[in-house]
Chain A
Amino acid sequence: MSSTLLPEERALDAHVRTNSSKSKRYGFFPGCVAKESCKELFNSTLLLADKLGIELVELTAASCCGASVLNDTNRDVARVLNARTYAQAEALGLDDVITICSTCTGHMRAANKELRESEEHMAQANAILGKFGANYKGSVTVRHLLWLLIDDIGLDALRAMVVRPLNGLKVAPFYGCHIIRPESVNGWESARHPHSLEDVIVALGGEAVDYAGKTRCCGFHVQLEKDGIASSMVGQNMRMAKDNGAEAVITPCPLCHLALDGYQADAAARWGRTDLPIFHLPQLVAYALGVPAEKLGLNKHLIDPREVMVSRDLIN
């Protein structure tokens, strides 16, 4: 084992959720926001993993992915930080690193692509990782939990696992830019016309709402740069979702969640009230698979999703 392993990583029990000794093990990179202001995302992901019968091995010593901002000051740091994360996964014998954030997905995949496609970048990273006894061979694949649901679990199997269908709840998908763009980095599905979230919504017994805003930007990354900019972007997109009949929104990205959940109130003056509750992807899937609603942290949302769930007889 490499020296990058921590004692707590060697004793995996604390971080592994097991249903069966044969279940598939994945490296798990929760990202900063799921550990800070969106803890309900982190918790519901672990509860969902239990239901799916997969092991998520959290990479506890991993750093931030760079969050699309680190490149603004230095184009090498984020790549090497991510190489360190991948070296930790490799040392644990894990080739799959699963993310629960669109921005982590895009930026970790971009770093991995640069490392795997350029000997120069790989050599630069390993020269630095070598200073603390780590090494990245290039075997890791970064994927979002959404892709795992469809590729590894499968929509048919997912449908079969549903014990509490969504009763036709009209859910608008909101992808979050970095899980689809740029296509050269992600490419798992069409960036212009993605449908994975719609497929999941339908598999859970909901109705997917189509609207032009689903692949657009939530404004999170410029929320502090100029007052009102993110709330305008949120208002514009949520208005479209609401006008197309949405009762709720689902997103695979906690940054989108923070913006959409947080700024609809501010956007109301210009775009009218929308008040759409925003579900994290694992919350809604876990609910349909039978995790008790009170365990999903729905009370942490600024726009409480429980009202719409009551109206659809999903909870009392």
Chain B
Amino acid sequence: MAKIKLDIFRFDEATDTVPHRDEVTVDLPETTTVLDALEHAKAEVDGSISFRRSCRSAICGSCSMSIGGVTSLACKTSCGSAMEEDGSVKIDPMPNFQPMKDLVVHMDPFWDKYARLKPYLQPKDADSAHATERRVSPDDMKKLVDVANCIMCATCYSLCPVVSVDPAFAGPAAIAYAYRFIEDVRDGKRPERLAQISEDYLWLCAHCYACSYCPKHVDPNDRIVDVKRAAITDRVMMNERGPRHALVVARTIKQTGMLAETEVIQGTVGRFNIRGLLKVAPLGARMALKGKLPPPFLKPVPKVDEIRTIFDALEAPVR
């Protein structure tokens, strides 16, 4: 047994203007889950501590909260693994959400982004056209299984740095769930889905892999890349900066072996987009003053023909 100090964020939107913290000490083994420790604290010490929970076994997705500064499922995290040097476990509501009461947050923005996906199968044709159920091959289904494991706990959404500065971004969970339908052979709305998720800032993903902390190994980061590739394959919103950026990066690497910074900036913003280029100009000018501008043209790396051979062997013919 150990004395575990639960350092808990306390706030009630109905009565409080500012939050405070309470420290509740429980006498439990360090292997106790944070959820069990909170249950113990609520039952034995302070019945007013509020948090969401249901299944206690990482299936329902209710108990996501910030533990030791990182969002995790309380039922899947031991107190010992999140303990500070002074024996305390710091527990906060999920970041990127408005706190409601203690560890309970308003989940609405997260659900709204799900709802926009129309997260249900929209088949190509009417059920009456089918004498039997719609069959999916094991290989086709395999692609969807990992994403179907999503328990909508919002761990990824709360860790997403883009959501934290731009709430318009769909967030990792919604994009991964869009993939689940975009790649479903039974679904008939692939073009609409790709257009909608592109409009919800698919290309604003910062490639930071914070969503790789997914407690169910859905790995939204990899599915976001898959959806981007699907958008490029289907030529969805190709004149936006995201797809242009991806294409110009590939082109400069093929031409020179290197990511040519100057050409990538021009190609992404648009060579003839004077307003856009003026917006990046002040930073460019500051860099120029320091002799820090990347070279306008790059000399290809030695044996660049080998690099082009690799591209030619793997690139699909341009549509």
Contact = CB atoms under 8 A, between A and B. Distances in A.
A84 B307 contact: yes
A134 B310 CA distance: 12
Interface string A215-243: 01101111011110100110010000000
B295 interface: yes
A76 interface: yes
B229 interface: yes
Given A37-B287, A300-B290, A225 B166 contact: no
B114 to A, nearest CB: 22
Interface string B302-313: 110111011101
B209 A177 contact: yes
A162 interface: no
A309 to B, nearest CB: 17
Contact of A132 (B205, B232, B306): B306
Chain B, interface size: which category? Answer: 35 or more
Contacts, number: 192
Interface in B166-199: 166
Main secondary structure of the interface of B (DSSP, over half): helix
Contacts of A33: 259, 261
B204 interface: yes
Interface in B69-128: 69-70
A105 interface: no
B293 interface: yes
B261 A178 contact: no
A70 interface: yes
Contacts of B316: 74
Contacts of B309: 128, 131-132
Contact of A67 (B210, B259, B280): B259
Select the residue from B201, B291, B295, B306 with max chain A CB neighbours within 10 A.
Answer: B306
Nearest to A178: B209
Contacts of A293: none
Nearest to A216: B161
B33 interface: no
Contacts of B294: 36-37
A64 B210 contact: no
B9 interface: no
B235 to A, nearest CB: 12
B291 A32 contact: no
A67 B307 contact: no
B311 A77 contact: yes
B314 A80 contact: yes
A6 interface: yes
Interface stretch (A55-63, A92-100, A148-156, A198-206): A55-63
B302 A60 contact: yes
A137 interface: no
A266 to B, nearest CB: 7
Select the residue from B201, B204, B294 with max chain A CB neighbours within 10 A.
Answer: B294
A222 B162 contact: yes
B176 to A, nearest CB: 14
Contact of B232 (A72, A77, A134, A217): A72
B313 A128 contact: yes
Contacts of A60: 301-302
11 contacts: A4-B303, A36-B260, A64-B258, A73-B229, A73-B250, A74-B250, A81-B310, A131-B309, A132-B306, A224-B245, A224-B268
Given A61-B257, A178-B209, 7 more contacts: A32-B260, A36-B295, A64-B257, A216-B208, A217-B210, A236-B161, A300-B290
Interface of B: 68-70, 161-162, 164-166, 201, 203-210, 212-213, 219, 221, 225, 228-229, 232, 241-242, 245-247, 249-250, 253, 257-261, 265, 268-269, 279-280, 283, 286-287, 290-295, 298, 301-303, 305-307, 309-311, 313-316
